[in-house]
Chain A
Amino acid sequence: KQEVTQIPAALSVPEGENLVLNCSFTDSAIYNLQWFRQDPGKGLTSLLLIQSSQREQTSGRLNASLDKSSGRSTLYIAASQPGDSATYLCAVRHEYGNKLVFGAGTILRVKS
Chain B
Amino acid sequence: DVKVTQSSRYLVKRTGEKVFLECVQDMDHENMFWYRQDPGLGLRLIYFSYDVKMKEKGDIPEGYSVSREKKERFSLILESASTNQTSMYLCASSSLRGDQPQHFGDGTRLSIL
Contacts and interface: CB of A to CB of B under 8 A. Distances in A.
B60 interface: no
A98 B42 contact: no
Best-surrounded residue of A32, A51, A100 (most CB of chain B within 10 A): A100
Interface residues on B, range: 20 to 34
Contacts of B110: none
B98 A32 contact: yes
Contacts of B43: 89, 91, 102
B106 interface: yes
Contacts of B107: 41-43
A36 B103 CA distance: 10
Contacts of B45: 99-100
Interface of A: 31-32, 34, 36, 41-46, 49, 51, 89, 91, 93, 98-100, 102-105
Interface of B: 4, 31, 33, 40, 42-43, 45, 48, 50, 58, 90, 92, 94, 98-107, 109
